[in-house]
């Protein structure tokens, strides 16, 4: 007897309460926009600016111990990573410590730097500090522009890809669902005030790819069924296609969430924001692929003259057991 996450031959009407789901999504997106302009994001060092301190030591870099040594100084957002430095001497371990701006100053004062060095030398007397650099607001502003541009270009590329692969109605549905996912993710980060840095931008781009993949699988099956059932109502074709791919969607999301929840629980503070964004993105991305993208296609309608065979359809894994 095999365990199934989704019963075989499901027949769920996903459009029965489409007005409710659409209304909730619109309200959630509006709330996210309001939160963005009123509360705002809790930007990290990448976007606010700060100071970067490079350390070198014969001892192995212990990120937890470094963080514990700096905790009494109340420096705010501190990022500590071990890095490779080709200029470092043999046997030396190099780390990069990034500290947010202090009290609106572009760089931290020499007194604070001295306190940081003393705190780390208490833990490791052999540690040295080869360089101290500041990241000003101009550089941070450029990073914000590049981050926004990268997300916009990713969504635009998805728009063109879906348009060429399917029809423009599918393209609009897929892209609006991506905008829905990104907007809600930013809204959650505004509401919870989780640190927003370049790793979260990476998570947003990953969410776009994940959600798009899920949507394409459903749309591929829709295209197949439109050829197969030429007289079936579009609503019924969409329902049939979503039900046929539901096992694949559930299994993919479930197995990915298992790994992400383990990382969120055991991974520590350094990657917690990134993992949270991924968890939220998978949940909302799965929801939008089923309830948002398909609903938009239903309302826009699609042509029913599919004369070409579906040899290029990529749904051979859509019916896996789940």
Q: Following DSSP, what letter does each residue of 212-226 receive, concatenated?
A: HHHHHHHHHHHHHHH
pLDDT value, residue 83: 74
The mean predicted confidence, pLDDT, of the chain is 80
Confidence of residue 229 (pLDDT cuts 50, 70, 90): confident
Rounded CA gap, 53 and 134, in Å? Answer: 9
CA atoms within 13 A on the CB side of 204: 27
Alpha-carbon distance values, 3 to 6, 46, 76, 243, 322 (Å): 9, 46, 48, 18, 8
The answer on pLDDT for 320 being more than 50 is no
pLDDT value, residue 31: 95
Average pLDDT for 81-87: 71
Percentage of residues of the chain with pLDDT beyond 90: 9
Confidence of residue 310 (pLDDT cuts 50, 70, 90): very low
Average pLDDT for 291-318: 65
The domains located in the chain, with CATH, are 18-42+140-300 (1.20.1640.10), 50-135 (3.30.70.3220)
Rounded CA gap, 243 and 240, in Å? Answer: 5
Q: 98 CB contacts (<8 Å, ≥6 apart)?
A: 45, 50, 51, 52, 53, 78, 79, 80, 135
| pTM, 2 dp | 0.73
Confidence of residue 202 (pLDDT cuts 50, 70, 90): confident
Token pair 């609106």 in the structure block, residue:
104
pLDDT value, residue 53: 83
Residue with the larger pLDDT of the pair 219 and 10: 219
pLDDT value, residue 85: 67
Residue 253 and residue 282 in contact, taking contact as beta carbons nearer than 8 Å: yes
The answer on pLDDT for 304 being more than 70 is no
Longest dimension (CA), the chain: 79
């Amino acid at each position: 007897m095999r365990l199934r996450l989704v019963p075989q031959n499901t027949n769920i009407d996903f459009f029965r309460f489409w007005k409710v789901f659409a209304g909730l999504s619109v309200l959630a997106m509006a709330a996210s926009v309001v939160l963005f302009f009123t509360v705002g994001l809790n930007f990290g060092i990448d976007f606010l600016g700060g100071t970067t301190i490079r350390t070198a030591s014969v001892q192995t870099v212990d990120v937890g111990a470094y963080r514990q040594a700096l905790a009494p100084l109340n420096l705010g957002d501190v990022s500590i990573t071990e890095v490779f430095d080709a200029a470092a001497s043999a046997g030396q371990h190099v780390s990069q410590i990034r500290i947010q701006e202090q009290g609106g100053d572009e760089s931290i004062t020499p007194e604070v730097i001295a306190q940081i060095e003393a705190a780390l030398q208490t833990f490791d007397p052999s540690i040295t500090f080869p360089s101290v650099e500041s990241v000003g607001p101009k550089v941070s502003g450029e990073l914000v522009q590049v981050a926004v541009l990268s997300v916009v270009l990713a969504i635009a590329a998805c728009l063109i890809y879906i348009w060429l692969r399917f029809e423009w109605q599918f393209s609009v549905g897929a892209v609006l669902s991506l905008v829905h996912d990104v907007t809600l993710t930013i809204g959650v980060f505004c509401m919870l005030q989780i640190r927003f840095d370049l790793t979260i931008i990476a998570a947003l781009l990953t969410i776009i790819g994940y959600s798009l993949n899920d949507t394409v699988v459903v749309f591929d099956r829709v295209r197949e069924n439109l050829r197969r059932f030429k007289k079936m109502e579009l609503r019924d074709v969409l329902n049939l296609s979503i039900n046929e791919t539901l096992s694949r969607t559930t299994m993919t999301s479930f197995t990915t969430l298992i790994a992400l929840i383990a990382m969120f629980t055991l991974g520590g503070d350094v990657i917690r924001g990134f993992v949270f964004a991924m968890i939220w993105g998978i949940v909302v991305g799965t929801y939008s692929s089923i309830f948002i993208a398909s609903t938009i296609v239903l309302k826009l309608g699609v042509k029913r003259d599919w004369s070409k065979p579906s040899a290029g359809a990529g749904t051979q894994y859509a019916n896996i057991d789940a």
